[in-house]
């Protein structure tokens, strides 16, 4: 705990508007204590959203650090050149990419028609 940003709840009650302004600074948060023990943490809504997003990403990609290290290795060795491309993934689902647009690719409105059996 950073003692500079640790306050008893009773003290924080008197300074709540100052604290609310202070936590808007990047990385700033307050730990509020009750009887000397940490009870609650106050941080900006933006920092809270960022933490929630990080937790979500880490739950989807639990080995993210390993994946990044593997990708870095593949970039150095050239193995990334054998990765499946976006075009190949989309083609499997019947999509056709339009010509390369100024700001990247876009999916053509003309998609491959899938055959259907007549009933």
* pLDDT tens digits for range 62-114: 898 898 999 999 999 998 888 988 888 888 888 877 665 555 556 665 555 45
- Domains (ranges, CATH) in the chain? 3-47 (3.40.1620.10)
Give the Cα separation of 109 and 49 in Å (integer): 36
Residue 119 confidence (pLDDT) = 45
Q: Is the pLDDT of residue 41 over 50?
A: yes
C-alpha angle 93/96/97, rounded to 5°? 125
Give the Cα separation of 6 and 11 in Å (integer): 10
């Amino acid at each position: 705990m950073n003692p500079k940003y640790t306050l008893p709840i009773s003290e924080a009650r008197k300074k709540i508007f100052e604290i609310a302004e202070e936590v808007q600074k990047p990385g700033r948060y307050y730990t509020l204590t009750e009887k000397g023990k940490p009870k609650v943490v106050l941080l900006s809504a933006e920092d809270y959203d960022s933490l929630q997003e990080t937790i979500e990403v880490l739950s989807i990609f639990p080995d993210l650090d390993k994946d990044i290290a593997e990708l870095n290795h593949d970039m150095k060795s050239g193995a990334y050149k054998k990765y499946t491309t976006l075009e190949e993934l989309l083609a499997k689902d019947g999509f056709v990419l339009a010509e390369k647009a100024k700001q990247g690719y876009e999916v053509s409105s003309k998609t491959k028609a899938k055959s259907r059996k007549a009933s």
